[in-house]
Amino acid sequence: MDYAAAKSTLCRQCGRYFSPSTPKPVLKLRTKDEAGPSTAEPSGVRKFEGLWNKARVCVVACFECKRKHEVSYAATSTNCPSCSAHIDLRDYKITTSFSRSIRTRGELHLTSKGDLSSTSVICRSALIEGKLRGNLQCEESATINFVGKLPGGVVANYVSVERKADVQCFRRIRVGNIDIKGRMSGEIIASGGVNIHKTGALDGNVTAKSINIEKGGMFSGQLVIGEADLTQAELLPKENPATTAARDTRLPSGVARPLPAT
């Protein structure tokens, strides 16, 4: 038993939060004068509203255990049904200087007058029009429409550099795929492809699986097609064992053998 107006409660057995069931409405008999038109069959508008409200749900993942579950678009927060962790679903619009950490499954809008210097920012998608000094991690996409220097790093599944953008990135941009329609300089590491449009220009090092440069697009820098972050052992050439043995036999027995270079 719990309060009738409670939005959530705590299970006395397992200690997890859950939403209590809505109490059933009490049947009320109406007189002949109060009775209106027949409501046995809902109207077409009500049917459409019911389908619309039922379809407006999204799937969010927990920050801690990564479990996914459905929530309503109108919700501003929720709790993970597995680990009971709190999940923020609010959208953030930054118009002034902001230095607090953000961790939400909503959207982030950094306006042209905004200055985001948070150490860590995690969101679903972001629109960057102002100064980004901290690290930004987007679950889905990030749109860059900014002119100037970008000291912060960006990690996203998809990044779009808009046509009017002219951005200089000081940290690596790690993406799945990226579309460059404006001017950009910096280092890009893409697990997918890099697409430079006819109005785009890229100056910097690129490591990706593929690159596409349209007629009129510009690219200047080093290009690596394949895997990234090779270790030092993978960069060293492999020696033939027979050659190594022959090289060792040429040394006199009394001379100390040189140590291998590290």
Convert the pLDDT of each residue in 62-114 to its tens digit.
988 988 888 887 888 888 988 988 898 889 999 999 988 999 999 999 999 99
> pLDDT grade, residue 44 (50/70/90)?
low
Q: How far is the CA of 182 from the CAs of 53, 137, 165, 166, 201, in angstroms?
A: 39, 22, 5, 6, 6
Res 257 pLDDT > 70: no
Distance between CA atoms of residues 217 and 196, nearest Å: 6
> Which uninterrupted H or E stretch holds 170?
none
Q: What is the pLDDT of residue 40?
A: 46
Q: How far is the CA of 169 from the CAs of 132, 174, 178, in angstroms?
A: 10, 12, 14
Give the mean model confidence (pLDDT) for residues 124-142: 92
pLDDT digits (tens, 9 = 90+) for 139-196: 999 999 999 999 988 999 999 999 999 999 999 999 999 999 999 999 999 999 999 9
Res 233 pLDDT > 80: no
Distance between CA atoms of residues 102 and 119, nearest Å: 9
Q: Which residue has the tokens 């619309």?
A: 52
* More confident position, 19 or 98: 98
What single-letter DSSP state applies at residue 258? P
Res 215 pLDDT > 80: yes
Q: What is the pLDDT of residue 227?
A: 64
Res 244 pLDDT > 60: no
Q: Where are the domains of the chain?
A: 55-89, 93-225
Q: In DSSP terms, which residues pair with 195 in a beta bridge?
A: 179, 212
Q: Are 58 and 76 in contact (CB under 8 A)?
A: no
